[in-house]
A = this chain, B = another copy of it.
Amino acid sequence: MLPNPTLNLSGDRFTVHYRIAAAEGARQIAEAICLEQTVEFPADLVPPGDIRQQIVGRIESLEPVAPGVSEAVISYAVETTGFELTQFLNVLFGNTSIKPGIRVERFTLPDSLLGRFKGPRFGVQGLRDYLGVFDRPLLCTALKPLGLSAADLAELAYRLALGGIDIIKDDHGLADQAFAPFAERVKRCAEAVERANRESGRRAIYMPHVAGPVDTAVERARLARQSGAGGLLVSPGLVGFDTMRRLADDDAIGLPVMSHPALLGSFVTSPVNGISHYALFGQIARLAGADATVYPNWGGRFSFSQEECRSIAEGAAVDMGHIRPIFPTPGGGMSLSRVPEMLRFYGRDVILLIGGGLFQAGPDLVANCRSFLAGVSA
Protein backbone atom coordinates (compact mmCIF):
# COMPACT_ATOMS: atom_id res chain seq x y z
CA MET A 1 0.00 0.00 0.00
CA LEU A 2 2.94 2.31 0.71
CA PRO A 3 6.02 3.33 -1.27
CA ASN A 4 9.38 2.00 -0.18
CA PRO A 5 11.82 4.82 -0.89
CA THR A 6 15.61 4.82 -1.03
CA LEU A 7 16.79 7.69 1.12
CA ASN A 8 20.56 8.07 0.67
CA LEU A 9 21.12 8.92 4.32
CA SER A 10 24.58 9.64 5.71
CA GLY A 11 24.59 6.71 8.10
CA ASP A 12 25.38 9.06 10.99
CA ARG A 13 23.26 8.33 14.02
CA PHE A 14 22.82 9.81 17.46
CA THR A 15 22.14 7.71 20.53
CA VAL A 16 19.78 8.18 23.46
CA HIS A 17 19.93 6.29 26.74
CA TYR A 18 16.44 5.56 28.04
CA ARG A 19 15.79 4.21 31.50
CA ILE A 20 12.86 1.80 31.35
CA ALA A 21 11.11 0.93 34.62
CA ALA A 22 9.30 -2.35 33.95
CA ALA A 23 9.32 -5.67 35.73
CA GLU A 24 9.11 -7.38 32.34
CA GLY A 25 8.74 -6.58 28.67
CA ALA A 26 11.60 -4.08 28.48
CA ARG A 27 12.43 -5.20 24.95
CA GLN A 28 8.89 -4.61 23.70
CA ILE A 29 8.93 -1.19 25.34
CA ALA A 30 12.24 -0.36 23.68
CA GLU A 31 10.90 -1.54 20.32
CA ALA A 32 7.85 0.65 20.82
CA ILE A 33 10.11 3.66 21.47
CA CYS A 34 11.92 2.97 18.18
CA LEU A 35 8.62 3.25 16.29
CA GLU A 36 6.93 5.93 18.39
CA GLN A 37 9.78 8.42 18.06
CA THR A 38 10.06 8.08 14.30
CA VAL A 39 7.44 6.54 12.02
CA GLU A 40 4.64 6.25 14.62
CA PHE A 41 3.26 3.43 12.53
CA PRO A 42 2.32 -0.23 13.02
CA ALA A 43 5.52 -2.31 12.77
CA ASP A 44 4.15 -4.69 10.16
CA LEU A 45 3.20 -1.83 7.82
CA VAL A 46 6.53 -0.01 7.89
CA PRO A 47 8.09 -0.09 4.40
CA PRO A 48 10.92 -2.64 4.54
CA GLY A 49 13.70 -0.63 2.88
CA ASP A 50 15.43 2.47 4.21
CA ILE A 51 12.46 3.53 6.31
CA ARG A 52 12.59 0.34 8.36
CA GLN A 53 16.37 -0.01 8.20
CA GLN A 54 17.39 3.62 8.74
CA ILE A 55 14.51 5.81 9.90
CA VAL A 56 13.03 3.60 12.61
CA GLY A 57 15.05 3.84 15.83
CA ARG A 58 17.50 1.00 16.41
CA ILE A 59 18.15 -0.73 19.71
CA GLU A 60 21.92 -0.66 20.13
CA SER A 61 21.85 -2.29 23.55
CA LEU A 62 19.41 -3.23 26.27
CA GLU A 63 20.68 -4.13 29.71
CA PRO A 64 19.14 -4.58 33.15
CA VAL A 65 20.64 -1.98 35.45
CA ALA A 66 18.65 -2.58 38.66
CA PRO A 67 15.75 -4.80 39.73
CA GLY A 68 12.87 -3.92 37.42
CA VAL A 69 14.89 -1.32 35.55
CA SER A 70 16.62 -1.58 32.17
CA GLU A 71 18.63 0.85 30.12
CA ALA A 72 18.01 0.90 26.38
CA VAL A 73 20.44 2.66 24.09
CA ILE A 74 18.55 3.59 20.93
CA SER A 75 20.06 5.26 17.89
CA TYR A 76 18.36 7.46 15.31
CA ALA A 77 19.49 8.74 11.93
CA VAL A 78 20.66 12.34 12.32
CA GLU A 79 18.45 13.26 9.36
CA THR A 80 15.29 12.52 11.38
CA THR A 81 15.94 15.73 13.32
CA GLY A 82 15.97 17.93 10.23
CA PHE A 83 18.94 19.47 12.10
CA GLU A 84 16.55 21.64 14.12
CA LEU A 85 16.44 21.81 17.91
CA THR A 86 12.65 21.48 18.16
CA GLN A 87 12.60 18.34 16.06
CA PHE A 88 15.65 16.95 17.87
CA LEU A 89 13.69 17.23 21.13
CA ASN A 90 10.76 15.60 19.37
CA VAL A 91 12.80 12.55 18.33
CA LEU A 92 14.46 12.46 21.74
CA PHE A 93 11.26 12.27 23.75
CA GLY A 94 8.18 13.77 21.99
CA ASN A 95 5.44 11.16 22.20
CA THR A 96 7.35 8.85 24.51
CA SER A 97 7.08 11.59 27.16
CA ILE A 98 3.44 10.53 27.42
CA LYS A 99 4.36 6.95 28.38
CA PRO A 100 4.97 6.49 32.10
CA GLY A 101 8.07 4.60 33.19
CA ILE A 102 10.46 5.87 30.51
CA ARG A 103 13.08 8.50 31.20
CA VAL A 104 15.75 10.07 29.00
CA GLU A 105 19.06 9.69 30.83
CA ARG A 106 21.53 11.17 28.37
CA PHE A 107 22.41 11.36 24.70
CA THR A 108 25.44 11.41 22.44
CA LEU A 109 25.43 13.36 19.19
CA PRO A 110 27.91 12.92 16.34
CA ASP A 111 29.75 15.97 15.04
CA SER A 112 27.47 16.09 11.99
CA LEU A 113 24.58 16.94 14.30
CA LEU A 114 26.46 18.94 16.95
CA GLY A 115 27.88 21.07 14.15
CA ARG A 116 24.42 22.40 13.37
CA PHE A 117 24.20 24.04 16.79
CA LYS A 118 26.26 26.98 17.96
CA GLY A 119 25.76 26.16 21.61
CA PRO A 120 26.84 28.60 24.32
CA ARG A 121 28.42 31.76 22.96
CA PHE A 122 30.58 32.18 26.08
CA GLY A 123 30.67 29.03 28.18
CA VAL A 124 32.77 28.83 31.32
CA GLN A 125 35.96 30.38 29.98
CA GLY A 126 34.17 32.96 27.85
CA LEU A 127 32.08 34.18 30.76
CA ARG A 128 35.19 34.39 32.96
CA ASP A 129 36.93 36.47 30.29
CA TYR A 130 33.84 38.66 29.90
CA LEU A 131 33.61 39.33 33.64
CA GLY A 132 37.35 39.39 34.30
CA VAL A 133 37.06 36.84 37.11
CA PHE A 134 39.43 33.91 36.76
CA ASP A 135 40.29 32.44 40.10
CA ARG A 136 37.05 31.93 42.03
CA PRO A 137 33.39 31.01 41.62
CA LEU A 138 31.12 33.71 40.24
CA LEU A 139 28.52 35.32 42.50
CA CYS A 140 24.93 35.81 41.44
CA THR A 141 21.80 37.19 43.03
CA ALA A 142 18.27 38.12 41.95
CA LEU A 143 16.40 41.43 42.06
CA LYS A 144 13.21 40.98 44.06
CA PRO A 145 10.55 41.00 45.42
CA LEU A 146 7.96 41.37 42.68
CA GLY A 147 6.04 44.59 43.27
CA LEU A 148 9.01 46.92 43.68
CA SER A 149 9.29 49.70 41.13
CA ALA A 150 11.99 49.87 38.48
CA ALA A 151 13.67 52.61 40.50
CA ASP A 152 13.59 50.53 43.67
CA LEU A 153 15.01 47.50 41.86
CA ALA A 154 17.74 49.66 40.36
CA GLU A 155 18.71 50.93 43.81
CA LEU A 156 18.99 47.31 44.96
CA ALA A 157 21.04 46.48 41.87
CA TYR A 158 23.42 49.31 42.71
CA ARG A 159 24.01 48.05 46.24
CA LEU A 160 24.40 44.44 45.13
CA ALA A 161 26.95 45.41 42.48
CA LEU A 162 28.80 47.68 44.87
CA GLY A 163 29.03 44.83 47.37
CA GLY A 164 30.76 42.58 44.86
CA ILE A 165 28.10 40.44 43.18
CA ASP A 166 29.18 39.56 39.62
CA ILE A 167 25.80 38.81 38.08
CA ILE A 168 22.68 40.63 39.21
CA LYS A 169 19.73 39.03 37.47
CA ASP A 170 16.05 39.74 37.50
CA ASP A 171 14.01 37.41 39.61
CA HIS A 172 12.29 35.11 37.12
CA GLY A 173 8.91 36.53 38.15
CA LEU A 174 9.80 39.91 36.66
CA ALA A 175 8.33 40.20 33.17
CA ASP A 176 6.74 43.42 31.93
CA GLN A 177 4.40 44.21 34.80
CA ALA A 178 3.09 47.75 35.11
CA PHE A 179 4.84 48.35 38.43
CA ALA A 180 8.30 47.68 36.87
CA PRO A 181 7.97 47.75 33.06
CA PHE A 182 10.67 45.90 31.16
CA ALA A 183 12.11 48.84 29.21
CA GLU A 184 12.31 51.17 32.20
CA ARG A 185 13.61 48.45 34.51
CA VAL A 186 16.38 47.39 32.16
CA LYS A 187 17.55 50.93 31.58
CA ARG A 188 17.56 51.86 35.27
CA CYS A 189 19.12 48.64 36.51
CA ALA A 190 21.84 48.59 33.84
CA GLU A 191 22.69 52.20 34.67
CA ALA A 192 22.76 51.45 38.38
CA VAL A 193 25.15 48.54 37.91
CA GLU A 194 27.36 50.64 35.67
CA ARG A 195 27.42 53.39 38.29
CA ALA A 196 28.46 50.85 40.94
CA ASN A 197 31.17 49.55 38.59
CA ARG A 198 32.60 53.02 38.16
CA GLU A 199 32.84 53.38 41.93
CA SER A 200 34.14 49.89 42.63
CA GLY A 201 36.35 49.32 39.62
CA ARG A 202 34.62 45.94 39.24
CA ARG A 203 32.79 44.52 36.22
CA ALA A 204 29.37 43.40 37.48
CA ILE A 205 26.60 42.79 34.95
CA TYR A 206 22.82 43.02 35.00
CA MET A 207 20.77 40.25 33.38
CA PRO A 208 17.11 41.08 32.73
CA HIS A 209 14.53 38.31 32.37
CA VAL A 210 13.47 38.11 28.74
CA ALA A 211 10.12 36.36 28.80
CA GLY A 212 6.90 37.71 27.42
CA PRO A 213 5.35 37.08 24.04
CA VAL A 214 7.73 35.10 21.86
CA ASP A 215 7.45 37.58 19.02
CA THR A 216 8.87 40.28 21.28
CA ALA A 217 11.72 38.20 22.72
CA VAL A 218 14.28 39.30 20.16
CA GLU A 219 13.10 42.90 20.40
CA ARG A 220 13.35 42.88 24.20
CA ALA A 221 16.76 41.23 24.08
CA ARG A 222 18.05 43.85 21.65
CA LEU A 223 16.61 46.61 23.79
CA ALA A 224 18.38 45.04 26.76
CA ARG A 225 21.66 45.08 24.88
CA GLN A 226 21.17 48.70 23.83
CA SER A 227 20.25 49.67 27.38
CA GLY A 228 23.49 48.29 28.75
CA ALA A 229 22.40 44.93 30.11
CA GLY A 230 25.31 42.51 30.36
CA GLY A 231 23.40 39.28 29.83
CA LEU A 232 19.95 37.70 29.54
CA LEU A 233 17.96 35.50 31.87
CA VAL A 234 15.79 33.13 29.83
CA SER A 235 13.27 30.55 31.08
CA PRO A 236 13.03 27.84 28.40
CA GLY A 237 10.08 26.25 30.20
CA LEU A 238 8.14 29.46 29.58
CA VAL A 239 9.35 30.54 26.14
CA GLY A 240 10.61 27.23 24.72
CA PHE A 241 14.16 25.93 24.40
CA ASP A 242 14.36 27.12 20.83
CA THR A 243 13.62 30.71 21.81
CA MET A 244 16.61 30.53 24.14
CA ARG A 245 18.70 29.19 21.28
CA ARG A 246 17.44 31.98 19.05
CA LEU A 247 18.49 34.66 21.54
CA ALA A 248 21.86 33.04 22.21
CA ASP A 249 22.64 32.67 18.51
CA ASP A 250 21.88 36.27 17.58
CA ASP A 251 25.12 38.13 16.86
CA ALA A 252 23.35 41.48 17.16
CA ILE A 253 22.51 40.57 20.77
CA GLY A 254 25.73 38.74 21.62
CA LEU A 255 25.10 38.50 25.37
CA PRO A 256 25.65 35.65 27.84
CA VAL A 257 22.51 33.66 28.57
CA MET A 258 21.49 32.18 31.89
CA SER A 259 18.81 29.48 31.79
CA HIS A 260 16.14 29.41 34.53
CA PRO A 261 14.20 26.22 35.42
CA ALA A 262 10.70 27.74 35.79
CA LEU A 263 8.01 25.32 34.57
CA LEU A 264 10.61 22.65 33.79
CA GLY A 265 10.15 20.88 37.10
CA SER A 266 7.64 18.33 35.81
CA PHE A 267 10.36 16.76 33.68
CA VAL A 268 12.34 15.83 36.79
CA THR A 269 9.92 15.44 39.70
CA SER A 270 9.41 11.73 39.08
CA PRO A 271 12.45 9.42 39.10
CA VAL A 272 10.88 7.07 36.56
CA ASN A 273 9.49 9.59 34.04
CA GLY A 274 10.71 12.62 32.18
CA ILE A 275 14.25 13.69 31.43
CA SER A 276 17.20 13.33 33.78
CA HIS A 277 18.68 16.34 35.54
CA TYR A 278 21.90 15.61 33.65
CA ALA A 279 20.28 15.80 30.23
CA LEU A 280 17.74 18.56 30.89
CA PHE A 281 19.74 21.10 32.89
CA GLY A 282 23.09 20.04 31.45
CA GLN A 283 23.08 18.75 27.90
CA ILE A 284 19.88 20.29 26.54
CA ALA A 285 20.53 23.68 28.16
CA ARG A 286 23.94 23.73 26.45
CA LEU A 287 22.60 22.67 23.11
CA ALA A 288 20.08 25.53 23.44
CA GLY A 289 22.81 28.09 24.04
CA ALA A 290 22.83 28.67 27.80
CA ASP A 291 26.13 29.79 29.32
CA ALA A 292 24.89 29.07 32.85
CA THR A 293 22.16 26.74 34.07
CA VAL A 294 20.19 27.64 37.19
CA TYR A 295 18.70 24.88 39.35
CA PRO A 296 17.80 24.43 43.01
CA ASN A 297 20.68 23.13 45.08
CA TRP A 298 20.08 20.33 47.54
CA GLY A 299 19.11 21.28 51.06
CA GLY A 300 17.26 24.49 50.16
CA ARG A 301 13.57 25.05 49.45
CA PHE A 302 13.49 22.33 46.81
CA SER A 303 14.14 18.61 46.83
CA PHE A 304 16.93 17.86 44.38
CA SER A 305 19.38 15.39 45.91
CA GLN A 306 23.12 15.86 46.17
CA GLU A 307 23.52 13.19 43.50
CA GLU A 308 21.11 14.97 41.14
CA CYS A 309 22.99 18.24 41.59
CA ARG A 310 26.27 16.49 40.88
CA SER A 311 24.81 15.05 37.70
CA ILE A 312 23.82 18.53 36.50
CA ALA A 313 27.39 19.75 37.02
CA GLU A 314 28.56 16.70 35.04
CA GLY A 315 26.10 17.39 32.21
CA ALA A 316 27.28 21.00 32.15
CA ALA A 317 30.88 19.88 31.66
CA VAL A 318 30.80 16.62 29.68
CA ASP A 319 32.53 16.63 26.30
CA MET A 320 30.07 17.64 23.57
CA GLY A 321 32.50 18.47 20.77
CA HIS A 322 32.55 22.18 20.06
CA ILE A 323 29.62 22.85 22.42
CA ARG A 324 31.26 24.66 25.32
CA PRO A 325 31.04 23.61 28.98
CA ILE A 326 28.82 25.92 31.03
CA PHE A 327 28.42 27.04 34.63
CA PRO A 328 26.21 25.07 36.99
CA THR A 329 24.31 27.72 38.94
CA PRO A 330 22.83 26.22 42.10
CA GLY A 331 20.38 28.38 44.05
CA GLY A 332 16.91 28.02 45.52
CA GLY A 333 17.12 28.86 49.19
CA MET A 334 20.88 29.09 49.61
CA SER A 335 22.50 31.20 52.33
CA LEU A 336 25.97 32.49 53.16
CA SER A 337 26.45 29.66 55.61
CA ARG A 338 26.18 27.12 52.79
CA VAL A 339 29.04 28.66 50.78
CA PRO A 340 31.94 26.60 52.16
CA GLU A 341 30.06 23.36 51.57
CA MET A 342 29.14 24.39 48.01
CA LEU A 343 32.73 25.31 47.27
CA ARG A 344 33.92 21.90 48.40
CA PHE A 345 31.25 20.21 46.33
CA TYR A 346 31.38 22.15 43.06
CA GLY A 347 34.94 23.44 43.05
CA ARG A 348 35.82 26.69 41.33
CA ASP A 349 33.74 26.54 38.14
CA VAL A 350 30.34 27.32 39.57
CA ILE A 351 28.06 30.33 39.88
CA LEU A 352 26.70 30.59 43.41
CA LEU A 353 23.21 32.06 43.41
CA ILE A 354 21.93 33.49 46.69
CA GLY A 355 18.71 35.50 46.53
CA GLY A 356 16.64 36.09 49.64
CA GLY A 357 19.45 34.70 51.79
CA LEU A 358 21.56 37.76 51.06
CA PHE A 359 18.89 39.94 52.62
CA GLN A 360 18.58 37.69 55.65
CA ALA A 361 22.28 37.76 56.49
CA GLY A 362 22.18 41.16 58.19
CA PRO A 363 20.74 44.68 57.92
CA ASP A 364 23.44 46.04 55.57
CA LEU A 365 23.00 44.58 52.08
CA VAL A 366 26.34 45.84 50.80
CA ALA A 367 28.11 44.30 53.79
CA ASN A 368 26.30 41.01 53.18
CA CYS A 369 27.53 40.97 49.61
CA ARG A 370 31.07 41.64 50.80
CA SER A 371 30.81 38.68 53.16
CA PHE A 372 29.64 36.53 50.25
CA LEU A 373 32.58 37.64 48.14
CA ALA A 374 35.06 37.16 50.98
CA GLY A 375 33.69 33.66 51.48
CA VAL A 376 34.51 32.56 47.95
CA SER A 377 37.80 34.45 47.69
CA ALA A 378 39.32 32.94 50.83
Q: Across the interface, do B363 and A1 meet the contact criterion of CB distance under 8 Å?
A: yes
A304→B95 CA distance, assembly (Å): 13
Chain B neighbourhood of A265, CB < 8 A: 95-99, 273
A304→B264 CA distance, assembly (Å): 22
Report which of B99, B237, B243 forms a contact with A214, defined as CB distance below 8 A: B243
Given A211-B90, A214-B246, A262-B94, answer yes or no on A148-B3 (Cβ-Cβ < 8 Å): yes
Q: Across the interface, do A5 and B179 meet the contact criterion of CB distance under 8 Å?
A: yes
The answer to whether the Cβ of A152 comes within 8 Å of any Cβ in the partner chain is yes
A267→B269 CA distance, assembly (Å): 10
Given A41-B144, A146-B38, answer yes or no on A91-B173 (Cβ-Cβ < 8 Å): yes
Q: Across the interface, do A55 and B100 meet the contact criterion of CB distance under 8 Å?
A: no
Q: Across the interface, do B178 and A79 meet the contact criterion of CB distance under 8 Å?
A: yes
Given contacts A41-B359, A266-B274, 14 further A-B contacts (CB under 8 A): A1-B363, A2-B148, A40-B142, A51-B145, A84-B213, A86-B238, A87-B212, A90-B173, A90-B175, A97-B269, A99-B303, A213-B242, A214-B242, A215-B218
Which stretch in A42-50, A63-71, A314-322 binds the other chain?
A42-50
The answer to whether the Cβ of A337 comes within 8 Å of any Cβ in the partner chain is no
Chain B neighbourhood of A332, CB < 8 A: 98
Instruction: With both chains docked as a complex, state the minimum distance between the C-beta of A40 and any C-beta of chain B, in angstroms.
Output: 6
Report which of B79, B86, B152 forms a contact with A177, defined as CB distance below 8 A: B79
Q: Across the interface, do A273 and B266 meet the contact criterion of CB distance under 8 Å?
A: yes
Q: Across the interface, do B152 and A5 meet the contact criterion of CB distance under 8 Å?
A: yes
Q: Across the interface, do B148 and A264 meet the contact criterion of CB distance under 8 Å?
A: no
> Which positions 1-36 of chain A face chain B at CB distance < 8 Å?
1-3, 5, 7, 32, 36
The answer to whether the Cβ of A296 comes within 8 Å of any Cβ in the partner chain is yes
Q: Across the interface, do B145 and A41 meet the contact criterion of CB distance under 8 Å?
A: yes
Residue with the greatest number of chain B CB neighbours at <10 A, chosen from A5, A37, A240, A274: A240
Given A1-B359, A38-B173, A46-B145, answer yes or no on A93-B214 (Cβ-Cβ < 8 Å): no
The answer to whether the Cβ of A270 comes within 8 Å of any Cβ in the partner chain is yes
Q: Across the interface, do B5 and A148 meet the contact criterion of CB distance under 8 Å?
A: yes
Q: Across the interface, do A263 and B177 meet the contact criterion of CB distance under 8 Å?
A: no
Residue with the greatest number of chain B CB neighbours at <10 A, chosen from A89, A146, A237: A146
Q: Across the interface, do A32 and B301 meet the contact criterion of CB distance under 8 Å?
A: yes
Instruction: With both chains docked as a complex, state the minimum distance between the C-beta of A160 and any C-beta of chain B, in angstroms.
Output: 12
Given A84-B213, A147-B5, A173-B91, answer yes or no on A97-B266 (Cβ-Cβ < 8 Å): yes
Chain B neighbourhood of A109, CB < 8 A: none
Q: Across the interface, do B98 and A269 meet the contact criterion of CB distance under 8 Å?
A: yes
Q: Across the interface, do B90 and A235 meet the contact criterion of CB distance under 8 Å?
A: yes
Residue with the greatest number of chain B CB neighbours at <10 A, chosen from A97, A152, A171, A355: A97
- Contact flags A212-225 to B (C-beta < 8 A → 1, else 0): 11110010000000
